[in-house]
Structure 1
Amino acid sequence: MSVKQRVIKPKNQQTKRALEQRAPKLIENTKTAMFVRGGRTSEQVTQVLKELCMLKKPHAVMFKRKNIMRPFDDQTSLEFFSNMNDASLFLFGSHSKKRPNNLVFGRTFNNHILDMIEFEIQSFHSLKMFKNLKVTEGAKPCLVFAGELFENDAEHKRLKSLFIDFFHGETISNIRLAGLEHVISFTAIANKISMRGYRTILKKSGCKTPRVELEEIGPSLDLIFRRTKLASDDLFKRASKQPKALKAKKKKNINVDVFGTTHGRIHMQKQDMGNLQTRKMKGLKRGAVEGSADDNKKAKIDNGDE
């Protein structure tokens, strides 16, 4: 027996706009991240949450109150907050004797937990410790991943995908060189992830392309793997599926070589070479006298005179 779902119509324009904003779209909105504090947090965890929230702004929601929850034991509270705030990403921070300086990165799909990865903060250097200029708030960062584990290990591959979701910002079609002012680097060594923040400095190089230098501005984080709860391959494939309307249609008989040159193949019908006209230049056309002489000679050959 099928149960019909009741559709509630919006009572005012503000509610209508909010529902339209949450409705499914071909090109989804930029993902929002929640920054949640647990029942007990250390000063270091609180500062990490605040500074990572600054990197994610304006698509970030910082919870001011503490929330007693254990994400790996019960996910209902996080799923409820995710649905209420229309946020598919979250960062949960807590501190206890068993798990000191604890961070949990995660994301949801269809209002249910998809992936969660837990870390221990080994070392942390705040933005305030770097006495130099910072980048513009909301600037789209350039993400750099170093280490073979990001390409070979299944958990690190999923972690790389999670970090890209978390930090990549708005989806854009074009970007100018001066707009690449922020670089976030992730380095994987064994069970340790090093996160560094840099500001790009463009200097004169004597040619059209400037010389690029990196200046560390923070925050600087060293994270140690603790626990993971990852979605199955089938569920992750379903969560990553793109609508058919967004997929680029393949053009037949067109390919691009290694040098970027486009080559096309044209299919033509078989030509009748007997009817091919070859004498198109006026100087090569046969005159009237030449034509009649050739015709007489051909007639003699047919009659057997020669």
Structure 2
Amino acid sequence: MIYILSTGRLLILLIFIKSSRILNIILGIWTSKNDASLFVLPQTSKKRPNNLTFVRIYDRKVLDILALKKKAFSESDHFLQGPKSTPGNPPPLHFASELFTTHPRYIQVKSMLISSPAPHEGRGLNVKGLEGECVISVSVAPTPPSLNNATDSTSNPPTALPKIHIRTYVVRLSSSSSGSSGLSRSPRVDLIPMSPSIDLDLRCHMNPDPELLKQAMKRPKVKEADIESGLEKKRKEKKDLEVDEMGDLRGRVHVVTPDLGKLLMGKMRGLKKGMLDEGDGDDDDDRDSGEEDRGTKKTRRLS
């Protein structure tokens, strides 16, 4: 859950307060009322214009803080005539730089951006399933040679760090032929620019506490047998139950095909066997009496 708060006073306190105890008390007011793991605070001032501060919370405590400066931003008016993506699906994130895995400052930026949407790490993608989807590419400006082997976040001042470019694209698939046979094996992927796109500069930051970060990254050790038994129990508990798009719980009822031979019928007089036989005889008698009446009418007319 993400809360975007546009208050300037609290943002100034977040930047200038160095005591983590006071900072935790201030943000504890929000975390006690709203169960949010990430705060995004936009603020503009004369000293720090176009500032975005990301505050990440764990266990109602401040985990880390990252401040970014907006350099350029393209609104959706520039891309009104272009294609749009299908809403409702979390966009894939592509980090096109080695700094996101080597430099501590950019590792923090990557962690913040991954925490924003629903986190899901995948090793493979179905290309045909990306038709009309939104892809966000995160890259950096030309990297100085001094940053290629950076190991310390304080080795270079923030002004020397390259900018971060965030671009949004729409995926369009087109047929492509490979080889002389002209058989289309895999579609060609075209990326069409879409809004929004933004350029960011790195500003001040606060590194996470090692002990708190260790607790946040800790995963419970569960045996494989316990996982399988838990999944089987979950399947049994939620068998034939599903939640639709509107959030309503729907169930499915399985009915066995009934045996019509054992079906209990009502005690109707016309369905008894003896009554059916007697009814057939009565029909014959009625036919005979009808024929006799017709013969008497004819004889009367002749006389």
Report the TM range for the smaller structure's normalisation.
0.5 to 0.7
- 2:110 matched residue in structure 1: 160
In structure 1, how many angstroms separate the alpha carbons of the residues matched to 2:219 and 2:45?
41
- 2:169 matched residue in structure 1: 198
Contact 1:108 1:114 in 2 (8 A): yes
**1:188 alignment partner AA:** V
- 1:229 matched residue in structure 2: 206
- 1:257 matched residue in structure 2: none
Equivalent residues in 2 for 1:114-153, closer than 5 Å: 114-131=63-80, 132-153=82-103
Distance 1:182 1:246, change over 3 A: farther
Distance 1:76 1:135, change over 3 A: farther
In structure 1, how many angstroms separate the alpha carbons of the residues matched to 2:223 and 2:49?
44
Structure 2 residue runs of 5 or longer lacking an equivalent are 18-22, 142-160, 178-183, 227-303
In structure 1, how many angstroms separate the alpha carbons of the residues matched to 2:72 and 2:172?
26
Distance 1:217 1:174, change over 3 A: same
In structure 1, how many angstroms separate the alpha carbons of the residues matched to 2:87 and 2:119?
12
In structure 2, how many angstroms separate the alpha carbons of the residues matched to 1:246 and 1:219?
44
Task: Name the SS of the counterpart of 1:187 in structure 2.
Answer: strand
- Kindly state the Cα deviation for residue 68 of structure 1 after the two structures are TM-superposed: 7.0
Q: Any idea what the Cα deviations from partners look like across 1:234-254, whole Å, max 9, x if unmatched? A: 3212211112128899xxxxx
* CA RMSD, Structure 1 to Structure 2 (Å): 2.9
More moved, 188-197 vs 72-81: 72-81
In structure 1, how many angstroms separate the alpha carbons of the residues matched to 2:109 and 2:165?
13
Task: Name the SS of the counterpart of 1:37 in structure 2.
Answer: coil
Contact 2:11 2:41 in 1 (8 A): no
- 2:58 matched residue in structure 1: 109
- 2:140 matched residue in structure 1: 188
- Kindly state the Cα deviation for residue 172 of structure 1 after the two structures are TM-superposed: 8.9
Distance 1:76 1:126, change over 3 A: farther
Of 91, 95, 105, the residue aligned with 2:40 is: 91
**1:104 alignment partner AA:** T
- 1:38 matched residue in structure 2: 7
Q: How many residues align?
A: 192
Contact 2:73 2:198 in 1 (8 A): yes
- Kindly state the Cα deviation for residue 86 of structure 1 after the two structures are TM-superposed: 1.5
More moved, 75-84 vs 98-107: 75-84
Q: Percent of aligned positions with the same letter in both sequences? A: 33
Task: Name the SS of the counterpart of 1:155 in structure 2.
Answer: helix
- Kindly state the Cα deviation for residue 171 of structure 1 after the two structures are TM-superposed: 7.7
- Kindly state the Cα deviation for residue 223 of structure 1 after the two structures are TM-superposed: 0.7
Task: Name the SS of the counterpart of 1:163 in structure 2.
Answer: helix
**1:197 alignment partner AA:** T
Q: Any idea what the Cα deviations from partners look like across 1:110-142, whole Å, max 9, x if unmatched? A: 011111110111111112321212222231211
**1:137 alignment partner AA:** P
Contact 1:69 1:77 in 2 (8 A): no
- Kindly state the Cα deviation for residue 191 of structure 1 after the two structures are TM-superposed: 3.5
Contact 2:39 2:55 in 1 (8 A): yes
**2:68 alignment partner AA:** F
- Kindly state the Cα deviation for residue 199 of structure 1 after the two structures are TM-superposed: 0.8
Contact 1:140 1:170 in 2 (8 A): no
Q: Any idea what the Cα deviations from partners look like across 1:194-225, whole Å, max 9, x if unmatched? A: 11111111111242421111011021111111
TM-score calculated relative to the size of structure 2: 0.56
